[in-house]
Structure 1
Amino acid sequence: MFEYGPMPPLMFGGMIAFLIMGFPVAFSLAAVGMLFGMLGIAFDHFSPALLNALPLRFYGVISNDLLLAIPFFTFMGAILERCGLAEDLLEGSGQLFGPVPGGLAYAVVIVGAVLGAITGTVAASVIAMGVVSLPVM
C-alpha cells in the first residue's frame, strides 16, 4: 500500500489557497500539481523518471484520430443555428406541444433529441439548442 501521509490535505489546502487568491481554476490545478510534484521528487515519494512519461501521455491523447471530428461537428451546430433549421424545429414542436402544460420544455427536449440524432455529437447540439432555445425560455 502507498503511504500518502499529509500530502492530500496539503494539496487540497494549496488549491483552496490559490483559488482564494483569485487565480483561475486551471492555473491553480497546474500550480498545485507542479508544486507537489516537485515536493514528491524532493522527498523521494516517486522517481523523476515518472515525469518522462508525461510527454508521451499528452501525445497519445492529442494524436487520437477521433478528436479531429470535434471542430467539424461544432461547425455543423453553428450552421444549423445560422440557417434556421434548429429554430424551425423548435417552433414546430412548440406548436405541437403548445396546449400541453410544460409544452415548451417538451419541445426543447424533443428538438434536442432530434438535433442529437442529426448531428451525432453533443457539442453541435448544445451550440444549436443553446442559441435557439435560451431566448425562448
Structure 2
Amino acid sequence: GALNLIQATAPGMAAARFGRVVNIGTNLFQNPVVPYHDYTAAKAALLSLTRTAAGDLGPDGVTVNMVSGGLLRTTDASAATPEAVFDLIAGMTPLRSVTTPEEFADAVLFFASPWSRAVTGQNLVVDGGLVRD
C-alpha cells in the first residue's frame, strides 16, 4: 500500500516541488515482544522503503518519514488488552505512561508540518521512551 501510494502521488508532488509522505511503522522490530513475524518484517521493510524513497524524492522537495508506535491506549486493536498489560508497559517507559492515539497523531502532524522541512528518511518512535535507540 505505501509503495503504491508513493508511486501514485510522487509525480504530482514533484511537479509541485513539495510533498510529505508519513508512513506508519511499529516499535516491534526494535523491541519484538510479541511474535508477529510477518507484521514485524513488513514494517521493517517499510522503514527501508521510507529511507530509499526519501533519497529518491528529496531532490523534488518531498520528505518521506515514518512514525512508529507501540501499544496505544486505547484503540479498537487494543481495546481487549488487560489493564495490567498497559500498567506493565507504562512502568517500563521513562514517562510512566502508554502513548495515546492523540499523542501518536501529534508526531504524524509534525512530519506533515512546515517544522519538519529539513527532516527526511527518519523513523520517529513514539512510545513514551520504551524503545531508546
State whether TM-score is above 0.5. no
What is the TM-score of this pair, normalised by structure 1? 0.23
Q: Which structure carries more relative contact order (alpha carbon 8 Å, separation 6+)?
A: 2
Structure having the higher helix fraction is 1
Q: Which has the larger radius of gyration?
A: 1
What is the TM-score of this pair, normalised by structure 2? 0.24
